[in-house]
């Protein structure tokens, strides 16, 4: 039995919605950087994401001490922080990357006690998690197959500079 035009429209809408649902998913991307010593570091180059995010992603930052100083006295960091000071976006507003910053405050013990470990010996790994709805990378075969079906309009991937 042939379908009427109303059924054809509904089927086309369902296919379009299924394609869009499949193209975008909640995603979490992970980045790790190592810093040595104390002070402030602002990245000149962005960390580029593997997937473009639709909106500004939420950020989680944590850190772990890798190498403890080998002196008789040492002090754990008083403050360790990291974050994003600027986003890399394209003309469509997708979030493609992040410019990161780091701050490590070790304290003054290395300047006070003889034989204490210098702050430069402290190695810290910084872990970032970026989470948001992202555009899933899909091969050209998917969009090519959808173009063959006149009732479905393919989702156009974001423009990457």
- For the stretch 25-54, pLDDT in tens is 788 899 999 988 888 999 999 999 888 888
DSSP string spanning the chain?
-PPPHHHHHHHHHHHHHHHHHHHEEEEEEEEEEEEESSEEEE-SSPEEEEEEESSPPEEEEEEEEEE---SSS----SEEEEEEEEEEE-TT--EEEEEEEEEEE--SHHHHSTTPPPGGG-EEEEEEEEEEEEEPP--HHHHHHHHHSTT-PPPPPPPP-
Count CA atoms closer than 13 A to 122's CA, side-chain side. Answer: 27
Q: How confident is the model at residue 86 (pLDDT cuts 50, 70, 90)?
A: very high
pLDDT in tens, 95-107: 999 999 999 887 6
pLDDT in tens, 104-126: 887 655 455 555 555 566 788 99
- Examine the pLDDT at 132 and tell me if it is beyond 80: yes
Cβ neighbours of 71 (radius 10 Å):
16
* pTM: predicted TM-score of the whole model, two decimal places: 0.65
- Give the span between the Cα atoms of 34 and 97, in whole angstroms: 18
Say what the pLDDT of residue 154 is.
Answer: 42
Of 98, 160, 133, the residue nearest 20 (C-alpha): 133
Rounded mean pLDDT, 53-62: 93
Of 158, 155, 159, 135, the residue nearest 144 (C-alpha): 155
Q: How confident is the model at residue 6 (pLDDT cuts 50, 70, 90)?
A: confident
| Domain limits, the chain | 5-148
Percentage of the chain exceeding pLDDT 70: 65
């Amino acid at each position: 039995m042939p379908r009427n035009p109303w059924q054809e429209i509904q089927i086309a809408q369902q296919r379009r919605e299924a394609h869009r649902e499949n193209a975008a998913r909640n995603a979490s991307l992970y980045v790790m950087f190592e810093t040595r010593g104390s002070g402030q570091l602002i990245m000149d180059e962005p960390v580029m994401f593997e997937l473009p995010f639709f909106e500004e992603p939420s950020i989680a930052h944590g850190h772990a001490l890798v190498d403890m100083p080998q002196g008789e006295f040492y002090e754990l960091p008083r403050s360790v922080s990291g974050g994003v000071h600027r986003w890399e976006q394209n003309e469509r507003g997708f979030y493609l990357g992040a410019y990161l910053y780091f701050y490590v405050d070790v304290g003054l013990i290395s300047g006070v006690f003889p034989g204490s470990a210098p702050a430069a010996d402290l190695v810290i790994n910084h872990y970032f998690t970026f989470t948001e709805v992202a555009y899933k990378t899909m091969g050209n075969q998917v969009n090519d197959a959808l173009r063959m079906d006149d009732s479905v309009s393919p989702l156009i991937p974001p423009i990457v500079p």
